[in-house]
Chains A and B, each alone.
Chain A
């Protein structure tokens, strides 16, 4: 879950990382008032959770409070890369002498936090790293011991500016304490008097850790626990147990038709979850069929089958084909078949996909394809 810039800056301020003077506004009048308090010359920044906000016109300079109000009015009714900002951040303009990049992210392959530093901030770090790898310092941190000042000083020694090591340590403390998967200051501005100020803040919190992050818990609510649904633009609905199996099944469908969605149940299938999954998938427009591809390992698929049957009993209007294998599969098949679901008893997902496409009139070769004929 990504935080807004102003939320990230609240964390920075609390941790002792200096941020520009400013405040958030939800209407033009408020923006003008904040600008007047800051002396007139300000930056107005749309608070949207998308990258490339500056390039999309989401960051504007104002010379007077009136102009700040006008710019805020404009930003608050625009879409920045598809996102409508609910707030703008109005901040003092900084006189910047140099810009650094400071970032900490989870390095999945190494299983450790990775610190990324560069004396060339203000631009996309990936581009700097690709063009001039020597300009970027990367180092891993022990997730148990954390990052102490001695190590931080070693890492920043090439950057030659006072205070960067302290800023890095403070950023690491935020990263660890808030269960962040990414904490980034880009740029960390060096002012002519030598002060370091975080001009931007990108913080992303691990969704799985929200249970122990009370401050961010409310923001994460509304996410459906357990299952993941991604709407796509096709005609074949999909219910799968396991993300890898769901993607593999999508890939097979995409050879001849278009998947309408990705739906992964997770390992907590119940009758209720399966009924909710079916209703979610069947609610999509333009559907020509639904494929259920599930395994009974940790999941009680015989219980899930009752949820499917419950939805089938209400009438669904499109063919539904299921492949359900594993613990208690025979019981599952009996429930599904009684409910009007065509059960494919073979191992291969290819055969289940072919059976559904055939029933939906979408089979390769003009609709007379035979299940398992590939």
Chain B
């Protein structure tokens, strides 16, 4: 078991009969993920890539219980689908959907919290524990098993940095994309806490970007950690007051700039990289420095 998921984790795919749901189900199965069910209302009885499809979460959980559900559903139904999964006993929701309203994300996070469950996302690439399971959309080819925990606000940047770590012989215990929306179901500080407590993780990489206060909060926790942490922040050339792609990435009123985040992280003893390509070398250095 890495953080949150392991080789034995049983997974349900909500929205499995859609174009993206089908394709990603195939990729996840190829990566060894134990997908036990799929759910699409009105499509019960079908099979997708050999996975039985049920009409509701309750039916799916009755027939083939899962601990985790990954959602490939349209934004308009994401909140209802997530709530249905929580009501059916799912402990971890991985919400890949882009464009989920922020009020829906807030309510879903609160509902998950109230039942002791957890939400990752929205707009998350998901989680991969290389060599064990992949509950997400990240290409498995970029990742290798190993001792580095990777937390990223950006999906594609986690692929790049993960691949560079792998190429440098630094595999990953788990890679988690938090999603870059204004409200993330599980924040960076909380994921850092999980990696800090994980026996298989020897160092953690944080990949942040401008906007919000995730990195500052993570820095406060990092200050108390004994494991080394390396961070990269994207957007140092981003002009203030402009949304860089999604509502979460904006430097507003002088808050949330890359410089502020780097300062907070460095003050907490985190090693910072100026470019994505420097991360692997710095991880190697902090791991050597420890032994």
| A binding-site residues for B, Cβ under 8 Å | 106, 108-109, 111-113, 126, 142-144, 176, 179, 181, 206-209, 211-212, 228, 230, 232, 240-248, 250-254, 259, 262, 264, 266-268, 294-298, 325-327, 347-350
Q: How far is the CA of A230 from the CA of B210 in the complex (A)?
A: 15
Q: How far is the CA of A350 from the CA of B277 in the complex (A)?
A: 7
Residue ID in chain B nearest A259 by CB atoms: B237
Known A108-B184, A209-B103; further 13 A-B contacts with Cβ < 8 A: A112-B110, A143-B109, A144-B110, A208-B102, A230-B243, A242-B245, A243-B154, A244-B209, A297-B156, A326-B159, A347-B167, A349-B277, A350-B275
Q: Can you list 29 pairs linking A and B with CB atoms under 8 Å apart?
A: A106-B183, A108-B212, A109-B187, A109-B212, A111-B106, A142-B110, A179-B101, A179-B103, A206-B102, A208-B99, A209-B102, A230-B242, A240-B156, A244-B180, A245-B157, A247-B209, A247-B237, A247-B245, A250-B235, A250-B238, A251-B275, A264-B246, A268-B98, A295-B139, A295-B159, A298-B96, A298-B137, A325-B159, A347-B163
Q: Do B234 and A248 touch across chains, with their CB atoms under 8 A apart?
A: yes
Least distance between A220 CB and chain B CB atoms (Å): 12
Of A112, A143, A254, A266, which is in contact with the most chain B CB atoms at under 10 Å from its CB?
A143
Q: How far is the CA of A246 from the CA of B235 in the complex (A)?
A: 9
Residue ID in chain A nearest B114 by CB atoms: A144
Stretch of B8-16, B194-202, B222-230, B247-255 on the interface side: B247-255
| A266 CB contact (under 8 Å) in B98, B102, B103, B277 | B98
Least distance between A231 CB and chain B CB atoms (Å): 10
Residue ID in chain A nearest B164 by CB atoms: A347
- Flag whether B100 is at the interface (Cβ < 8 A): yes
A residues within 8 A CB of B263? none
Q: Do A144 and B246 touch across chains, with their CB atoms under 8 A apart?
A: no
A residues within 8 A CB of B187? 109, 111
A residues within 8 A CB of B185? 111
Q: Do A245 and B103 touch across chains, with their CB atoms under 8 A apart?
A: no
| A242 CB contact (under 8 Å) in B154, B184, B232 | B154
Q: How far is the CA of A208 from the CA of B102 in the complex (A)?
A: 7
- B262-281 CB contacts (< 8 Å) to partner A: 275-277
Residue ID in chain A nearest B96 by CB atoms: A298
Question: Known: A254-B237, A264-B245, A350-B277. Contact between A126 and B76, CB under 8 A?
Answer: no
Q: Do B157 and A176 touch across chains, with their CB atoms under 8 A apart?
A: no
Q: Do A243 and B20 touch across chains, with their CB atoms under 8 A apart?
A: no
Question: Known: A142-B110, A250-B237. Contact between A243 and B212, CB under 8 A?
Answer: no
Q: Do A251 and B235 touch across chains, with their CB atoms under 8 A apart?
A: yes
A residues within 8 A CB of B253? 126
B residues within 8 A CB of A232? 239
Q: Do A228 and B20 touch across chains, with their CB atoms under 8 A apart?
A: no
Question: Known: A109-B187, A111-B183. Contact between A206 and B101, CB under 8 A?
Answer: yes
Residue ID in chain B nearest A323 by CB atoms: B160
Q: Do A243 and B249 touch across chains, with their CB atoms under 8 A apart?
A: yes
Question: Known: A208-B247, A209-B103, A326-B159. Contact between A267 and B98, CB under 8 A?
Answer: yes
Residue ID in chain B nearest A108 by CB atoms: B182
Q: How many residues of B contact A (CB 8 A)?
A: 70
Residue ID in chain A nearest B27 by CB atoms: A327
Q: Do A348 and B164 touch across chains, with their CB atoms under 8 A apart?
A: yes
Least distance between A327 CB and chain B CB atoms (Å): 5
Q: How far is the CA of A181 from the CA of B162 in the complex (A)?
A: 33
Q: Do A111 and B109 touch across chains, with their CB atoms under 8 A apart?
A: yes
Question: Known: A109-B214, A143-B110, A208-B100. Contact between A262 and B244, CB under 8 A?
Answer: yes
B residues within 8 A CB of A211? 75-76
- Flag whether B207 is at the interface (Cβ < 8 A): yes
Q: Do A112 and B156 touch across chains, with their CB atoms under 8 A apart?
A: no
A residues within 8 A CB of B47? none
Least distance between A162 CB and chain B CB atoms (Å): 30
Question: Known: A108-B213, A262-B244, A350-B275. Contact between A298 and B103, CB under 8 A?
Answer: no
| A181 CB contact (under 8 Å) in B20, B102, B138, B239 | B102
Q: Do A251 and B248 touch across chains, with their CB atoms under 8 A apart?
A: no
Least distance between B17 CB and chain A CB atoms (Å): 17
B residues within 8 A CB of A242? 154-157, 245
Q: How far is the CA of A208 from the CA of B100 in the complex (A)?
A: 6
Question: Known: A106-B183, A108-B213. Contact between A247 and B139, CB under 8 A?
Answer: no
Q: Do B159 and A228 touch across chains, with their CB atoms under 8 A apart?
A: no
A residues within 8 A CB of B139? 295-297, 325-327
Q: Do B238 and A248 touch across chains, with their CB atoms under 8 A apart?
A: no
Residue ID in chain B nearest A145 by CB atoms: B110
Q: Do B75 and A181 touch across chains, with their CB atoms under 8 A apart?
A: no
Q: How far is the CA of A109 from the CA of B153 in the complex (A)?
A: 13
Contact with A along B87-115 (1 / 0, CB 8 A): 00000000010111111111101110010
Contact with A along B155-199 (1 / 0, CB 8 A): 111011001100100000000000010111101000000000000
Q: Do A111 and B184 touch across chains, with their CB atoms under 8 A apart?
A: yes
Q: Do B182 and A244 touch across chains, with their CB atoms under 8 A apart?
A: no
Q: How far is the CA of A112 from the CA of B108 in the complex (A)?
A: 11
